[in-house]
Amino acid sequence: MRGEERTASQVGSGRTEVRPTPIWASKGTRTVLLLGDLVALVLLIMWLSTSVPVMLLGGLVLAPGIFHLDFFRVRLRTRS
């Protein structure tokens, strides 16, 4: 700062390391916050791509039906 006048806050202040103040939270609070973030992220993805909820719902509806049909086909198949 050559040629410039120093303000009162700059006088005597050398280079100091600035660190953020830690915010303490219990494990339960952290868990709730992380789960909330995860749910928000999933909802955001589902909102941005409208085909994802349709495919998820379709898969959840079709999977048990396909499973049971295959299960009965295997039971009815003749063993040779």
pTM value > 0.75: no
The rounded distance, in Å, linking the Cα atoms of 39 and 32 is 10
Residue 54 is given by DSSP the state H
pLDDT digit string (tens) for 30-70?
999 999 999 999 888 888 888 888 888 899 999 998 888 88
Residues 53/46, Cβ–Cβ less than 8 Å: yes
Could you state, in order of their start, the residue ranges of all structural domains in the chain?
27-76
Q: For residues 54 and 60, give the distance between their C-alpha atoms in angstroms, rounded to a whole number.
A: 10
Amino acid present at 60: L
